[in-house]
Structure 1
């Protein structure tokens, strides 16, 4: 069986201070960082033991993880495990990149995000170009903010044509996007309009909790980041018994990581294609 797994541990801090982010410049105690490190190492050890299944793993931390050595170590280790088809991480790319030389680049990918208030487009694009030159698979994302067309255009103009760029509509936002803004953002990311509105999901079949699930620092399993009910724990012998077909219990799904899992809709199909693009 091939499982898609989202890992989100105890880390909830970031070295950036973006105005739209609740984790900006949050500082954590040494005790909490130690707990997070132990949890990440335990998770990597568990994946190493799961040789009867195949895995696609995405680290989706609250904040920035790759400035922490234990996340870089985990990504490096997991990229070399034969049962791991792909290991990815969301990152603002502010960390050093020498550690990537020790990774299996056929299985590593980075979901990088450009934050124009924290780093220049020139510096960010230069690091992206450096990584692409080394053979690193990555995409570049931005939070699309009404009135911020120039920031988005500046980044797209500096990126190599083969680097996919994705845009997520700011939530919440001070004003709606104009028709011109939607059109211009959509020329850069054709799937951008699908991030403007929630997808109705109540009662619809969804493979989360069956072949896709999330894991937190304690090993607790949930269907996705948007359904809080715990369905099991990976550190128990019968963790597979927690996985079964289910329908969505929420009125709507507000993020493409969740919406891309929904079945039998054109929007979900489009978002699934978008999800695949982010990994290359």
Structure 2
């Protein structure tokens, strides 16, 4: 990863870096020293004078500790994400999440105590066995916590997800996501002073709805907007990372040519084939 970061820093030294997002997984699975090393490497390698947002997806509450949050604070990370998915403990146990509702609440308040003033929380609507009443209960807990961002996902069952691999375990649980569920989350978000600023869709989504990001004024995630609008190139490093090049010159119809370079997902393969991953990026950005 450090080798790929070194290449990226040199290759794009002439570009202005306005947003950094460490996520796509759970960076806080790293221990405090590893997390500190990663962020120091980024800060030492890149010119951050034009940076407007630095997000770290803390993600799973069971991976969050005071020591890790202090590392993020000491590096002036401007935005973090703490993702409960739901505030119903029975559902968390059912879908194999290893955190508790109380861990989510404790992690959130700890982050607030340490001075984080832009916290996102992710929820999933349409989880097995959850009723409209369950979603309402979750939203009331979220209301009390008062995050600065809220991302409401409609359940999308991916091939490698536990819900898909162990589908027989969940066959007796109804998966429901209706317009009423979406309207409820939207209503509570608005009452909290959060307003929609981006949305996107995925394959196999329950109810055929969208994922919607809500934010308080001035707290919208810059990276989220940039990646959804597909008007700016994004260089990604690490196993499973997807780099996107957006050509500046528009097509005759006003759209822009977009191509991607994918890193392999398997960590061992990523390490072994790191030179190939770097070469993929190089080829992408040397194309006419």
Q: Which runs of 5+ in 1 are unaligned?
A: 1-38, 200-205, 245-280
Q: Which range moved further: 190-199 or 146-155?
A: 190-199
> Over aligned residues, Cα RMSD in angstroms?
4.1
- Of 4, 8, 22 in structure 2, the residue corresponding to residue 59 of structure 1 is 22
- The residue aligned with 2:56 is 89
Check if 1:140 corresponds to 2:117.
no
- What TM-score does the superposition give when structure 1 sets the normalisation length? 0.52
* More strand as a share of residues: 1
Question: In 1, distance between residues paired with 2:149 and 2:229?
Answer: 26
Check if 1:183 corresponds to 2:169.
no
Q: Secondary structure at the match of 1:177?
A: coil
Relative CO higher for 1 or 2, CA cutoff 8 Å, sep ≥ 6?
1
- The residue aligned with 1:166 is 151
Question: In 1, distance between residues paired with 2:28 and 2:64?
Answer: 6
CA offsets 1:128-153 (integer angstroms, 9 cap, x no match): 12212322232111112252415522
* Residues 221/211 of structure 1: CA separation in 2 closer, same or farther (3 Å cut): closer
- What TM-score does the superposition give when structure 2 sets the normalisation length? 0.51
Check conservation: 2:261, 2:284, Cα contact below 8 A. no
Considering only CA atoms, is the larger Rg found in Structure 1 or Structure 2?
Answer: 2
- Of 230, 239, 259 in structure 1, the residue corresponding to residue 261 of structure 2 is 230
Q: Which runs of 5+ in 2 are unaligned?
A: 93-97, 158-162, 164-173, 190-194, 202-207, 212-227, 247-257, 263-275
- The residue aligned with 1:127 is 107
- The residue aligned with 1:42 is 3
- Of 206, 209, 219 in structure 2, the residue corresponding to residue 197 of structure 1 is 209
Check conservation: 2:82, 2:121, Cα contact below 8 A. yes
CA offsets 1:235-260 (integer angstroms, 9 cap, x no match): 66676435x8xxxxxxxxxxxxxxxx
* More helix as a share of residues: 2
Question: In 2, distance between residues paired with 1:98 and 1:138?
Answer: 17
* Residues 126/158 of structure 1: CA separation in 2 closer, same or farther (3 Å cut): farther
* Residues 237/119 of structure 1: CA separation in 2 closer, same or farther (3 Å cut): closer
- The residue aligned with 1:8 is none
Question: In 2, distance between residues paired with 1:53 and 1:218?
Answer: 23
- Of 36, 42, 51 in structure 2, the residue corresponding to residue 78 of structure 1 is 42
Check conservation: 1:221, 1:233, Cα contact below 8 A. no
Q: How many residues align?
A: 194
Compute the displacement of 1:59 (Å): 2.6
Aligned pairs for 1:107-118 (under 5 A) are: 107-115=77-85, 116=87, 117=92, 118=98
CA offsets 1:71-105 (integer angstroms, 9 cap, x no match): 45313543575427233232213232324434455
Q: Secondary structure at the match of 1:75?
A: helix
Q: Secondary structure at the match of 2:109?
A: helix
